[in-house]
Amino acid sequence: MKLAVQVNEGPYQHQASDSAYHFTKAALEGGHDVFRVFFYHDGVLNGTRLTTPPQDDRNIVKRWVELAEKYDLDLVLCVAAAQRRGIVDDGEAERNGKDATNIAPKFRISGLGQLIEAAIQCDRLVVFGD
């Protein structure tokens, strides 16, 4: 089955991100194709490289990065949601006159069209969070 995943909540304020990660990992390990994981609303906070949880806590951003590296997973942050929350890559930093970036490796910023494309291309779009 070809799946797309949408994550609408940040990594530490709601169970949605953990659930989305575990679902995606299980799907990939089960032989399913995950076309894209799209992070929307507060979900874009899963893509900041500046997240530094305590040593005894799970590092959700690192988990997503490792999963993306292992399975060549497409992790997309909604550009509008990312801008509102201060998450920028090189292109957004340049366009908006910012002097630094904070996007985690393996994540990229793009528009809502990426979510629409994923929904069209896939058998199921699974949404986590409100």
Which range marks the domain in which residue 76 is found? 2-128
Read off the CATH number of the domain in which 78 is found: 3.40.1260.10
CB 109 within 8 A of CB 77: yes
Kindly provide the residue ranges of all beta strands, DSSP E only, lying in the chain, ordered along the sequence: 2-7, 33-39, 75-78, 107-110, 124-128
Average pLDDT over residues 121-128: 98
Other beta carbons less than 10 A from residue 91's beta carbon: 12
Average pLDDT over residues 104-118: 98
| SS3 assignment, position 99 | coil
Number of domains in the chain: 1
| Amino acid symbol at 62 | K
Q: Which pTM value belongs to this model?
A: 0.96
pLDDT for 50-105, tens place per residue? 999 999 999 999 999 999 999 999 999 999 999 999 999 999 999 999 999 999 99
Euclidean distance between CA atoms 106 and 64, whole angstroms? 9
Indicate the pLDDT class of residue 13, thresholds 50, 70 and 90.
confident
Structure confidence at residue 70 (pLDDT): 98
| Torsional class of 129: left (φ above 0), alpha (ψ -120 to 50), beta (otherwise) | left
122 annotated active-site: no
Euclidean distance between CA atoms 12 and 71, whole angstroms? 24
Selecting among 20, 34, 65, 78, the annotated active-site residue is: 78
Structure confidence at residue 101 (pLDDT): 96
